[in-house]
Amino acid sequence: MTAPYDPGRDAAERYPDWVIRHRPLHGVPEVLSWKHRTILIDSDQSWAAKRCSLAHALAHLDLDHRETLGGRYERREEQQADELAATRMIPFDALIEAAVWTRDVDELAEELNVDRTLLVVRIEGLSREQRFRLDVA
């Protein structure tokens, strides 16, 4: 199996001119500013949630999503970023391996070192064939 996706390493390698900081954001998982080339990650999140937030922010960069004047993304863009981050953070083979031991979503998320939200996005995005393989694991 390949090494798990590391959003911190990915950011350092592909976006070395961007600054990533952890700050209290009062419930907002991450803030991305193209103008300042800065990603802020909510420091009050769990480590797994911080990793997922950074993966989500990098997905926005990779998909070339630009925030609106109000600083927000469209729902479609948020969904696309969630799906890309989930696919990167949770390889299908790792999901199958973890599902052999538990079907509890919270336990699966902990085993995969991701947050519950991203795990649910990943599971919902599985193809019919992948869902079948997951069901029989």
What CATH number does the domain containing 31 carry? 3.30.2010
Alpha-carbon distance of 85 to 73, in angstroms, equals 16
Does position 6 have pLDDT exceeding 50, yes or no? yes
- 19-23 vs 38-42, strand pairing mode: parallel
Average pLDDT over residues 61-82: 86
Q: How many domains does the chain have?
A: 1
Total H helices, total E strands in the chain: 7, 3
- Model confidence, pTM: 0.92
The verdict on residue 96 lying in a domain is yes
Average pLDDT over residues 117-121: 96
The pLDDT score that the predictor gives to residue 70 is 66
Q: Let me know: does 1 contact 91? Beta carbons within 8 Å.
A: yes
The pLDDT score that the predictor gives to residue 1 is 46
The verdict on residue 42 lying in a domain is yes
- DSSP 3-state assignment of 122? helix
pLDDT band for position 67 (50/70/90)? confident
The verdict on residue 106 lying in a domain is yes
Average pLDDT over residues 61-79: 84
Give the distance, in angstroms, between the CA of residue 118 and the centroid of all CA atoms in the same chain: 6
pLDDT band for position 73 (50/70/90)? confident
The verdict on residue 116 lying in a domain is yes
Alpha-carbon distance of 82 to 95, in angstroms, equals 17
C-alpha torsion 22→84→33→46, nearest 10: -20
The verdict on residue 1 lying in a domain is no
- Beta-carbon contacts of residue 135 (< 8 Å; ≥ 6 apart): none
Does position 47 have pLDDT exceeding 80, yes or no? yes
Q: Residue 29 sits in which domain range?
A: 7-136
The pLDDT score that the predictor gives to residue 74 is 86
Tokens for 89, please give them.
Answer: 């953070």
Taking all residues of the chain, what is their mean pLDDT, rounded to a whole number? 93
